[in-house]
């Protein structure tokens, strides 16, 4: 019975994305198409997700998966220009570019197109400003303008396959000369004409030699076709769609379909590839799933022969499962159950369900981290997003360890709460592509692993100590727990703070060594370094003050809450300052969060101090040892 | 007298021999670090370093003194040292002892490094070599002649601008003349470089009065100074010369049979090795402009050394007390140059040694404590 329940739960969690997807044309195999983007080979699926998230802040749009949506954008742009994908957070932008605001927050390309020129003009006037000086409105303008430009680039990837009016031919003589079927002559694309461009340019040369009076319709066609082709050839198409590996001087260069098109005339292989692409597009437009998947698989195989293919399958599974979201939800449920277990309920069955939920979440979580390691070939610690995920993972691990030795449900509560909290925080930092390449100074797996791993361990220790301190203070000041229970909670705080101190210290020393290796100084009073030092100093202060009996248990708990705040300051706050050498971590996210976090913590500490000083004084019996 | 000595001893004991001092020092240090970090937002890292971390005292609002890093550090070192006599040297505490020894070495090492380490840099174009590094912040005025009669070294002089006082007269023995620095500014408006390329002396005249001091920069290495010099012979001013930090080619005047050269440049520091830049390589991630790796291939020649070496990000080249790092680069139309940051540091291994002690000591202590705790938990269960 229980197992069936879990089985169903597991299936729902894993395949929920498929259940809700509308059965539109299913571009099988397209999701595996390899694209070189931002310095990394990634499957089409990731590429599409990144763009969809960038435009709309969502992973799905009107029932379409990201792959289905992007397929529509690149293969049949007209159809997709009514998709409401552009997220507009600030209504003033719409007012400024002359578009009637609607009740919804997302707009289609066709809607925004009306204000396109105004938008671009606005963006140009702001472009040279330092992003720090930009107002929220200006940032929004820049963001939307960027999205529209990106969208237009995406939609024009296969423009050369689309019929274009300047290539229309209404003359049977011309058709005959070029060998074009009369029926199709009004539907010609650059692709059709370009393959015949030698013929056309020869004829155009001849025609140009003639006197003006001798020119016939045939000559006029040739000259104008020749000009249009040249015009197209010279307009460089900057598309972010590098899908074809080409050997260029020993190195593998990845080119776009447009580049391939221009190179197709001289090279038979390239011509074949272009024909394959044409086939893919045609079968998409014909809604012929079988031919489509056959053609795309052929294309994928031809690419895979030229390179050592990356782990596409793992990345696709990673994308479709969305492991961090799932573990976040599981942790959330588990943390509520744990809180109940910790306080009121005493039930072994619920306890086991709780353990199972946490373990399942931990499984998803670990899978997510592991697949990132495999996909990116580096430890998953290079961005602030990744450190949140990793610290969350460490907290869950430590919480379970605590549960293993203490068995008081406190460990499970900490594990699930921290897991949920930091995964949620991480999702705030995930803007589109979370698998970018790292700056040159970070490009060292040895130091990434040793330094950041230890420092995040330290952070995790201090955080757990801080969270348990809340519990301790609540237990002591508001619920008057027994002395034995309090001592047990306190020893946990002490242990975790020691752990946090130890690893922050080692991590900071390692960081100093890394800085010594790459910047030439062990210590430079850079804000990020100071942040870590602050945690060390404060926890050292707390430990010494406690051992000299200057502060007692309650004071120590308050000190470790302050330590928790310092961790958040060093972790999030320093990046907000925007100064120092750790510039690869700068971001503006989390300002509100950090601010409200600090205020809430200060209020909590003030409340505790108030209760301690005044209520304790008025009625000392309340807090006397039981 | 005896009583006073006793009192003195008591005071000393209560200050240095007490663990309360440790706690107080750590608290003050935390405040100092936090304050020094936030101070950087408005004032830059250099000002923060000078005010908080390279000072004995900070005056808040110019009146209230607050201990600077040096005084807290000194107090901590003395306190930590004395506390070694008070320590409980049981086996149970061995980890703590080793760890604190590590911290003691670290503090001593930090003090040594902060007083002795020198930072400089060296920029080289591909194919060029040099054994002279430049200072980031210090400048010098070099004056030399290359008359035909003698080429010995005595016909040049270098004035360090740190010691220059405007108005004083400095003699040039090799010319039987002297110069007077009439004006010197640490940071001032620099003429456009293109205007000055290959400019004749006469054209400099128009910049005589254009010396315009600017506010000194937040980062002192960004300052570009300028100086106005009077060339004096027999108590009469022969010539006025303006020198600008941004102009890397020397200015010259003709005097009798000599050409006299003047150059205001970053202070040169002799290196024990000669470095030749063979090749600079910037590797990008495929199809992006984002750098994956910077690398310089150099040839190093010294008394006991003659070989090629590679300096890249995270991989410096070390020679004796000198360490060379890849700091920045310049690429334009096929011309490439690479800049190395150079640090001369006599105590560079101290942080590594102390780090090992701390790691070992505190880890041992933590593990011992953890196992004791787990054991206790199990006993409680039973």
Interface of B with A in 299-328 (CB under 8 A): 313-316, 323, 325, 327
- pLDDT tens digits for range A437-475: 777 667 777 888 889 899 999 999 999 999 999 999 988
B291-302/B258-284 β-pairing = antiparallel
Long-range residue pairs from B157-160, CB within 8 A, at least 24 positions apart, any chain: B160/B267
Residue A113 near residue A145, CB atoms below 8 Å: no
Q: Match 């040895």 to its residue by tokens.
A: A446
Per DSSP, helices labelled H in chain B are 2-16, 19-48, 69-86, 94-116, 193-196, 201-204, 350-381
Q: Match 């949506």 to its residue by tokens.
A: A69
Q: Which residue from A minimizes the CA distance to B26?
A: A541
**What residues does A86 pair with on adjacent strands?**
A107
Query: Residue B19: its pLDDT value, please?
Result: 85
Closest CA to A360 of A395, A389, A385, A333: A333
A600 touches chain B (CB under 8 A): no
Residue A420 near residue A328, CB atoms below 8 Å: yes
Query: B370 and A495: CB-CB below 8 Å?
Result: yes
Average pLDDT, chain B: 82
B146: phi then psi, degrees, rounded to nearest 5: -130, 65
- Candidates A443, A541, A580; nearest CB to B23: A541
B287 touches chain A (CB under 8 A): yes
Tally of CB atoms within 10 A around A109: 22
Closest CA to A87 of A119, A43, A126, A53: A53
Q: Is A179 left (phi over 0), alpha (psi -120 to 50) or beta?
A: left
Closest CA to B118 of B352, B361, B344: B344
Residue B25 CB partners (closer than 8 Å, separation 6+): B72, B75, B76, B79
**What residues does B341 pair with on adjacent strands?**
B121, B325
Residue A424 CB partners (closer than 8 Å, separation 6+): A328
A-B contacts at Cβ under 8 angstroms: 149
Query: A440 and B294: CB-CB below 8 Å?
Result: yes
A580 touches chain B (CB under 8 A): yes
Closest CA to A511 of A562, A561, A574, A458: A458
Query: Residue A433: its pLDDT value, please?
Result: 67
- pLDDT tens digits for range B68-77: 999 999 999 9
**How many percent of chain B have pLDDT more than 70?**
90
Residues in chain B closer than 8 A to A568 (CB atoms)? none
Residues in chain B closer than 8 A to A517 (CB atoms)? 314-316
Q: ∠ CA(B264), CA(B174), CA(B269), 5° rounding? A: 40
**What residues does B232 pair with on adjacent strands?**
B178, B237
Residue A314 near residue A32, CB atoms below 8 Å: no
Residue A83 near residue A109, CB atoms below 8 Å: yes
**What residues does B144 pair with on adjacent strands?**
B156, B261
Residues in chain B closer than 8 A to A577 (CB atoms)? 37, 40-41
Query: Residue B72: its pLDDT value, please?
Result: 93
b/e burial code for range B201-216 (CB count within 10 A of at least 16 → b): eeebeebeeebeeeee
Shortest Cα distance, chain A CAs vs residue B382, angstroms:
13
Say how many residues make up chain A: 626
CA distance B45 to B47: 6
B36 touches chain A (CB under 8 A): yes
Q: Which residue from B minimizes the CA distance to A256?
A: B287
Predicted TM-score of the model (pTM): 0.83
Residue A218 CB partners (closer than 8 Å, separation 6+): A171, A173, A174, A177, A203, A207
A404 touches chain B (CB under 8 A): no
Query: Residue A623: its pLDDT value, please?
Result: 44
B57 touches chain A (CB under 8 A): no
Closest CA to B317 of B336, B341, B338: B341
CA distance A241 to A287: 23
A374 touches chain B (CB under 8 A): no
Instruction: Indicate if the pLDDT at residue B203 is higher than 70.
Output: no
Least confident of A128-137, A483-492, B80-89, B125-134: A128-137
- Candidates A441, A498, A513; nearest CB to B352: A513
Tally of CB atoms within 10 A around A287: 10
Query: Residue A599: its pLDDT value, please?
Result: 94
Question: What strand order describes the sheet that includes B236-244?
Answer: B169-172, B177-185, B226-233, B236-244
Say what the ipTM of the complex is. 0.83
Q: Match 């059709």 to its residue by tokens.
A: A192
CA distance B96 to B110: 21
Collapsing DSSP to helix, strand or coil, A179 comes out as coil
Residues in chain B closer than 8 A to A545 (CB atoms)? 23
Residue B97's pLDDT band, with cuts at 50, 70 and 90, is very high
What is the H or E stretch that residue B312 is in? strand B305-312
Query: B290 and A39: CB-CB below 8 Å?
Result: yes
Interface of A with B in 498-537 (CB under 8 A): 498-499, 501-502, 505-506, 509-510, 512-514, 516-527, 530-531, 533-534, 537
Residue A496 near residue A471, CB atoms below 8 Å: no
**Which tokens go with A15?**
């395949």
Tally of CB atoms within 10 A around A369: 19
Residue A549 CB partners (closer than 8 Å, separation 6+): none
- Candidates A39, A524, A534; nearest CB to B287: A39
CA distance A194 to A225: 10
E strands, A53-204, are 60-61, 64-65, 84-87, 106-108
Query: B23 and A526: CB-CB below 8 Å?
Result: no
Long-range residue pairs from B154-162, CB within 8 A, at least 24 positions apart, any chain: B160/B267, B161/B225, B161/B227, B161/B264, B162/B138
B290 touches chain A (CB under 8 A): yes
A541 touches chain B (CB under 8 A): yes
- Three-state SS sequence of A329-382: HHHHHHHHHHHHHHHCCCCHHHHHHHHHHHHHHHHHHHHHHHHHHHHHCCCCCC
**What residues does B336 pair with on adjacent strands?**
B331
Closest CA to B264 of B184, B182, B147, B177: B184
State the first-to-last Cα distance of chain A, in angstroms, to the nearest integer: 45
- pLDDT tens digits for range B225-242: 888 888 888 778 878 888
Residue A194 near residue A265, CB atoms below 8 Å: yes
| Domain residue extents for chain B | 1-68, 87-117+346-382, 123-130+271-344, 137-269
Residue A451 CB partners (closer than 8 Å, separation 6+): A507, A510, A511, A513, A514
pLDDT greater at residue B194 or residue B235: B235
How far is residue B366 from each of residues A494, A498, A502, B357, B363, measured CA to CA in Å?
11, 7, 8, 14, 5
Mean pLDDT per block of 10 residues along chain A (626 residues) reads: 52 47 66 82 87 84 84 84 84 82 84 85 80 75 86 84 78 76 75 80 82 78 82 75 80 82 79 85 83 86 82 86 91 91 83 92 94 87 88 94 86 92 87 70 79 92 94 85 84 93 94 84 86 94 91 91 94 76 60 88 92 67 43
Residue A243 near residue A303, CB atoms below 8 Å: yes
How far is residue B11 from each of residues A224, B18, B22, measured CA to CA in Å?
101, 11, 16
Residue A203 CB partners (closer than 8 Å, separation 6+): A177, A218, A219, A222
- Candidates A36, A437, A520; nearest CB to B290: A437
Q: Which residue from A minimizes the CA distance to B362?
A: A502
Closest CA to B222 of B277, B280, B279, B266: B266
Instruction: Indicate if the pLDDT at residue B150 is higher than 90.
Output: no
């Amino acid at each position: 019975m229980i197992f069936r329940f879990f089985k169903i739960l597991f299936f729902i969690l894993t395949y929920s994305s498929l259940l809700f997807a509308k059965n539109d044309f299913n571009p099988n195999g397209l999701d595996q198409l390899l694209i070189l983007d931002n310095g990394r080979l990634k499957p089409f699926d990731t590429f599409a997700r990144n763009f969809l998230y960038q435009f709309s802040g969502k992973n799905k749009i009107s029932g379409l998966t990201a792959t289905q949506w992007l397929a529509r954008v690149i293969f049949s742009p007209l159809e997709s220009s009514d998709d409401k994908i552009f997220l507009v957070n600030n209504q003033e932008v719409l007012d400024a570019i002359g578009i009637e605001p609607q009740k919804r927050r997302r707009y289609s390309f066709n809607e925004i197109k009306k204000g396109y020129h105004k938008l671009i003009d606005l963006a140009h006037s702001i472009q040279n400003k330092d992003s720090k000086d930009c107002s929220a409105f200006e940032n929004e303008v820049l963001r939307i303008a960027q999205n529209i430009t990106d969208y237009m680039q995406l939609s024009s990837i296969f423009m050369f396959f689309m019929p274009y009016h300047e290539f229309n031919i209404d003359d049977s003589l011309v058709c005959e000369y070029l060998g074009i079927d009369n029926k199709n002559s009004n539907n010609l694309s650059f692709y059709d004409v370009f393959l015949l461009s030698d013929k056309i340019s020869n004829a155009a040369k001849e025609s140009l030699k003639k006197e003006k009076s001798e020119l016939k319709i045939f000559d006029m066609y040739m000259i104008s076709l020749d000009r249009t082709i040249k015009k197209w050839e010279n307009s460089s198409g900057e598309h972010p769609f590098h899908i074809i590996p080409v050997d260029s001087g020993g190195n593998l260069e990845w080119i776009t379909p447009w580049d391939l098109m221009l190179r197709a005339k001289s090279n038979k292989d390239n011509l074949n590839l272009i024909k394959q692409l044409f086939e893919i597009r045609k079968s998409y437009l014909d809604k012929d799933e079988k031919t489509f998947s056959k053609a795309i698989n052929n294309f994928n195989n031809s690419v895979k022969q030229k390179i050592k293919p990356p782990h596409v399958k793992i990345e696709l599974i990673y994308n479709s499962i969305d492991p961090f979201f799932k573990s976040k939800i599981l942790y959330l449920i588990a943390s509520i159950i744990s809180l109940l277990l910790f306080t009121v309920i005493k039930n072994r069955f619920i306890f086991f369900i709780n353990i199972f939920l946490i373990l399942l979440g931990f499984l998803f979580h670990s899978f997510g981290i592991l697949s990132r390691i495999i996909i990116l070939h580096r430890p998953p610690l290079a961005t602030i997003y990744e450190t949140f995920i990793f610290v969350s993972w460490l907290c869950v691990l430590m919480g379970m360890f605590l549960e293993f030795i203490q068995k008081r449900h406190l460990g499970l509560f900490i594990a699930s709460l921290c897991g949920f909290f930091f995964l949620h925080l991480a999702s705030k930092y995930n803007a589109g592509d979370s698998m970018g390449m790292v700056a040159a100074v970070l490009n060292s797996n040895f130091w990434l692993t040793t330094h950041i791993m230890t420092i995040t361990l330290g952070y995790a220790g201090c955080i757990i100590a801080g969270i348990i301190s809340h519990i301790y203070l609540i237990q002591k000041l508001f619920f008057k727990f027994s002395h034995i229970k309090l001592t047990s909670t306190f020893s946990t705080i002490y242990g975790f703070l020691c752990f946090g101190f130890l690893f922050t210290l080692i991590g900071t020393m390692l960081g100093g060594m890394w800085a010594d290796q790459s910047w030439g100084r062990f210590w430079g009073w850079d804000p990020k370094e100071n942040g870590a030092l602050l945690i060390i100093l404060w926890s050292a202060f707390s430990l010494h003050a406690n051992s000299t009996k200057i502060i007692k248990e309650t004071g120590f708990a308050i000190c470790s809450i302050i330590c928790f705040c310092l961790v958040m300051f060093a972790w999030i706050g320093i990046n907000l300052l925007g100064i120092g050498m750790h510039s690869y971590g700068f971001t503006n996210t989390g300002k509100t969060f950090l601010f409200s976090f600090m205020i809430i913590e200060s209020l909590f500490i003030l409340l505790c101090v108030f209760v301690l000083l005044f209520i304790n004084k008025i009625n000392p019996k309340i807090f006397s040892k039981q | 007298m005896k009583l006073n000595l006793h009192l003195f001893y008591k005071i000393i004991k209560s200050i240095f021999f007490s663990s309360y001092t440790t706690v107080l020092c750590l608290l003050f240090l935390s405040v100092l670090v936090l304050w020094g970090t936030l101070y950087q937002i408005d004032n830059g890292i250099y000002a923060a370093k000078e005010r908080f971390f390279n000072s004995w005292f900070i005056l808040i609002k110019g009146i209230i003194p607050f201990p600077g890093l040096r005084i807290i550090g000194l107090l901590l070192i003395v306190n930590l040292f004395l506390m070694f006599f008070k320590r409980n040297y049981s086996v149970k505490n061995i980890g703590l002892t080793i760890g604190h020894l590590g911290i003691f070495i670290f503090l001593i090492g930090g003090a040594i490094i902060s007083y002795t380490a020198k930072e400089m840099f060296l920029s080289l174009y591909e194919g060029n070599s040099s054994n002279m590094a430049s200072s980031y912040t210090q400048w010098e005025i070099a004056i030399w002649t290359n008359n035909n009669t003698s080429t010995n070294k005595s016909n040049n002089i270098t004035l360090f601008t740190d010691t220059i006082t405007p108005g004083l007269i400095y003699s040039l023995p090799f010319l039987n003349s002297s110069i007077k620095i009439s004006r010197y500014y640490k940071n001032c408006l620099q003429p456009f470089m293109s205007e000055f390329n290959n400019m004749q002396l006469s054209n400099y005249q128009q910049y005589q009065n254009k010396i315009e001091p600017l506010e000194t920069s937040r980062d002192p290495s960004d300052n570009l100074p300028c100086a106005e010099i009077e060339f004096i012979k027999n108590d009469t001013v022969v010539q006025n010369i303006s020198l600008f930090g941004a102009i890397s080619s020397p200015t010259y005047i003709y005097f009798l049979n000599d050409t006299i050269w003047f150059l205001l440049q970053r202070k040169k520091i002799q290196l024990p090795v000669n470095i030749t830049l063979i090749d600079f390589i910037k590797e990008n991630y495929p199809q992006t402009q984002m750098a994956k790796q910077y690398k310089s291939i150099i040839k190093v020649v010294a008394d006991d050394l003659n070989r090629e070496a590679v300096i890249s990000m995270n991989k410096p080249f070390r020679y004796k007390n000198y360490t060379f790092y890849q700091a920045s680069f310049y690429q334009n139309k096929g011309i490439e140059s690479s800049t190395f940051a150079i640090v001369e540091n006599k105590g560079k291994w101290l942080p590594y040694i102390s780090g090992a002690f701390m790691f070992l000591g505190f880890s041992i202590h933590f593990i011992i404590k953890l196992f004791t705790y787990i054991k206790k938990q199990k006993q409680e269960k039973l």
